[in-house]
């Protein structure tokens, strides 16, 4: 792919992820960038804005064939955000979008890494396109890199990129961060291309995870499949193989706490949160926000709500559940079918349980902008974050960061990576519908002093870990280790 422009050689930090945080305007420059919703973009963008650097990724454009992709890469789309982050866009072909992104990424790796082995689909053609897109991204990055550059690769879409960068001759530092869980070895080993993905990751100097459990799974899996020595050093674990050492570390992600606190103190946002509250009258307010995904436990949560009204008839007509679901991956049949199920369940529960002037579930199927999201966080009595499995989960931390008033309760799944960071939350097993119902009831019944005590505990933890400190931690790791080892 010799046609890639060498516009900024020597850029010190280059981030690469499947998706840019914005769908960039067309090559002719018309239109404005449209922001994408998701955990990765919400955390990486403030970190990069603080450090400076270039972000390479798919810009949302889909072209008919490879010739069109090559032509587009001759003058790749660049854009600088108001926060000063520079973006460089790469396109996908229609086939790649279908088979690499919706196929291998979303229908094989996503369920596999979240332990939903029954949903996994392995197709060789989809893996071939995964390899091809990883190579393109590596080439686009390399064209921007100088010898002093550090390349920070993000997430399961691009696990081959570190190895391809090495193959193409890049000798600088490569960091990799996995935003989702790393599954137990016996699950990962079902993947026909397990060796390729492992060697992809082991080519990075640093491989970081949200949680100790994910790192443990990774280290054990690598040990079982590749000849290597495992060398713990400080907080890191060195995996020493024939081609070098890769340092595995744990760096839980943080959020842009300042921004959530600032919005939560903004008079217009506070006024909006009061309007939300008054729209629900005297009723207690339960709130959830998720991407539409079977890992997020949306349907199980509805069942817990039904159970709550069975166990506590006094809450019938006295509690409203507002659930805001962002459309996601609607090209994948699994997700379209989930959407139909969610719609049906909301209709059924409201039909069966509603009474004069009251419906238990207020369902919105759209993205909220951040001001609106914070207004809802502020208005809620209880936030329900009950994924069946989640690498970390940012919604829980965002809710806590927004509660500058020190009030509000959080019901949180023990299967979210963030669960052991939030000791003041009511931890639940999301599969235990009765247990979740009981936790919601407890959260609603809690005295103000207990609520405030728990929230204060959580706020201390959330404020101690920001998006910027997370990036500093990730990027200091392999270098620090190399020095320590020397």
User: Where does this chain bind ligand ADQ (CB under 6 A)?
Assistant: 37-40, 42-43, 179-180, 253, 289-291, 324, 326, 367-368, 373, 390-395, 398
Question: 23 or 93, CB closer to ligand ADQ?
Answer: 23
Question: 11 or 155, CB closer to ligand ADQ?
Answer: 155
Catalytic position from the list 179, 210, 211, 376? 179
Whole-number Å distance between alpha carbons of 138 and 158? 9
Whole-number Å distance between alpha carbons of 166 and 451? 52
Closest CB to ligand ADQ belongs to which residue? 39
Minimum distance from CB of 289 to ligand ADQ (Å)? Answer: 4
Cα dihedral 335→338→339→344 (10° resolution): 170
Minimum distance from CB of 384 to ligand ADQ (Å)? Answer: 12
Contact 35, 175 (CB under 8 A): no
Minimum distance from CB of 113 to ligand ADQ (Å)? Answer: 10
Whole-number Å distance between alpha carbons of 368 and 357? 26
Question: 76 or 254, CB closer to ligand ADQ?
Answer: 254
Whole-number Å distance between alpha carbons of 382 and 408? 6
- β-pair type (86-93, 54-63): parallel
* Helical spans, DSSP H, in 291-403: 298-311, 333-353, 370-379, 394-402
390 carries an active-site annotation: yes
179 carries an active-site annotation: yes
Question: 40 or 90, CB closer to ligand ADQ?
Answer: 40
Q: Is 337 exposed, middle or buried (0-12, 13-18, 19+ CB in 10 A)?
A: exposed
Minimum distance from CB of 252 to ligand ADQ (Å)? Answer: 9
3-state secondary structure 174-225: EEEECCCCCCCHHHHCCCCCHHHHHHHHHCCCEEEECCHHHHHHHHHHHHHH
Backbone angles phi, psi at 100, to 5 degrees: -80, -55
Question: 37 or 133, CB closer to ligand ADQ?
Answer: 37
Question: 171 or 366, CB closer to ligand ADQ?
Answer: 366
Minimum distance from CB of 47 to ligand ADQ (Å)? Answer: 11
Q: Pick from 296, 276, 294: which is nearest to 286 by CA? A: 276
Rg (CA), the chain: 23
Minimum distance from CB of 215 to ligand ADQ (Å)? Answer: 15
* Residues designated as active site: 179, 390
């Amino acid at each position: 792919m010799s046609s890639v422009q060498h516009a900024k050689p020597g850029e010190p930090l280059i981030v690469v992820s499947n998706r840019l945080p914005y769908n960039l305007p067309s090559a002719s420059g018309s239109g404005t960038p449209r922001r994408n919703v998701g955990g990765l973009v919400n955390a990486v963008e403030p970190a990069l804005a603080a450090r400076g650097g270039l972000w390479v990724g798919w810009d949302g454009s889909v072209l008919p064939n490879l010739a069109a992709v090559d032509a587009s890469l001759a003058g790749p789309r660049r854009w600088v955000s108001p926060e000063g982050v520079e973006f460089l866009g790469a396109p996908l072909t229609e086939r790649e979008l279908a088979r690499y992104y919706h196929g291998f990424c979303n229908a094989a790796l996503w369920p596999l890494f979240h332990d939903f082995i029954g949903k996994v689909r392995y197709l060789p053609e989809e893996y071939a396109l995964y390899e091809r897109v990883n190579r393109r991204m590596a080439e686009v990055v390399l064209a921007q890199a100088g010898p002093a550059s550090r390349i920070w690769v993000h997430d399961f879409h691009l696990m081959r990129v570190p190895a391809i960068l090495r193959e193409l001759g890049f000798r600088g530092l490569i960091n990799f961060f996995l935003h989702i869980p790393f599954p137990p070895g016996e699950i990962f080993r079902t993947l026909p291309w397990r060796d390729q993905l492992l060697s992809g990751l082991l080519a990075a100097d640093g491989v970081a995870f949200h949680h100790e459990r994910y790192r443990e799974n990774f280290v054990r899996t690598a040990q079982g499949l590749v000849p290597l020595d495992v060398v713990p050093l400080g907080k890191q674990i060195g995996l020493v193989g024939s081609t070098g050492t890769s340092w595995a570390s744990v760096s839980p992600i943080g959020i842009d706490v300042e921004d959530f606190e600032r919005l939560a103190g903004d008079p217009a946002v506070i006024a909006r949160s009061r309007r939300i509250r008054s729209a629900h009258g005297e009723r207690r307010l339960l709130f959830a926000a998720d991407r539409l995904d079977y890992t997020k436990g949306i349907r199980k949560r509805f069942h817990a709500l039904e159970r709550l009204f069975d166990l506590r008839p006094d809450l019938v007509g006295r509690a409203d559940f507002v659930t805001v679901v962002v459309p996601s991956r609607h090209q994948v049949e699994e997700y379209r079918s989930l959407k139909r199920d969610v719609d049906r369940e909301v209709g059924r529960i409201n039909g069966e349980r509603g009474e004069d002037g009251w419906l238990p579930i207020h369902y919105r199927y759209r993205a909220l902008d951040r001001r609106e999201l914070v207004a809802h966080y502020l208005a809620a009595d209880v936030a329900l974050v009950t994924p069946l499995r989640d690498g970390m989960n940012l919604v829980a931390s965002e809710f806590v960061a927004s509660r500058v008033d020190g009030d509000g309760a959080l019901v949180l799944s023990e299967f979210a990576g963030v669960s052991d960071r939030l000791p003041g939350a009511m931890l639940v097993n999301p599969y235990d519908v009765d247990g979740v119902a009981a936790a919601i009831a407890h959260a609603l019944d809690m005295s103000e002093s207990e609520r405030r005590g728990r929230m204060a505990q959580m706020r201390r933890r959330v404020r101690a870990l920001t998006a910027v400190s997370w990036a500093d931690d990730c990027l200091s790791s392999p270098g620090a280790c190399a020095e320590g080892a020397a």
